[in-house]
């Protein structure tokens, strides 16, 4: 067996072990964070070549904790929330695209 294949197998085994050691409460908390995140967006076409877009995302405050990636004895805790907004202008140069048949 190639040494890198052995290394990848060992990493995979460690990751599987970490997943097993997560408590039910921690798994539920991780699910809650991703279930409550919200994102919205739209694009308005002003002409065949010009469009404007707006997008926003909100992730409420959440806390995650678990074993560190370098040492299982080291516990890491992350606490964050996030807001994001994006505005974009798109202009298409050249000939319009041709539909594939």
98 located within any domain? no
Sign of CA dihedral 27, 71, 69, 7: negative
Q: Is the pLDDT of residue 31 over 90?
A: no
Report how far residue 19's alpha carbon sits from residue 75's, in angstroms, rounded to the nearest whole number.
14
| pLDDT score of 85 | 96
pTM: 0.49
Number of compact structural domains in the chain:
1
Question: What share of the chain in percent tops pLDDT 90?
Answer: 26
Confidence label for 84 from pLDDT (cuts 50, 70 and 90): very high
Q: What mean pLDDT is reported for the chain?
A: 78
59 located within any domain? yes
* Full domain range(s) for residue 48: 3-91
Q: Is the pLDDT of residue 81 over 80?
A: yes
Element (H, E) at 61: strand 50-67
């Amino acid at each position: 067996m190639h040494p890198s294949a052995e290394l990848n197998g060992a990493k995979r085994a460690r990751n599987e072990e970490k997943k097993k050691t997560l408590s039910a409460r921690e798994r539920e908390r991780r699910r809650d964070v991703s279930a409550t995140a919200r994102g919205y967006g739209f694009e308005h076409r002003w002409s065949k070549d010009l469009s404007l877009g707006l997008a926003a995302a909100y992730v409420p405050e959440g806390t995650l904790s678990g074993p560190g990636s370098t040492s299982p004895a080291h516990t890491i805790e992350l606490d964050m929330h996030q807001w994001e907004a994006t505005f974009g202008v798109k202009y298409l140069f050249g000939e319009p695209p041709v539909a594939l048949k």
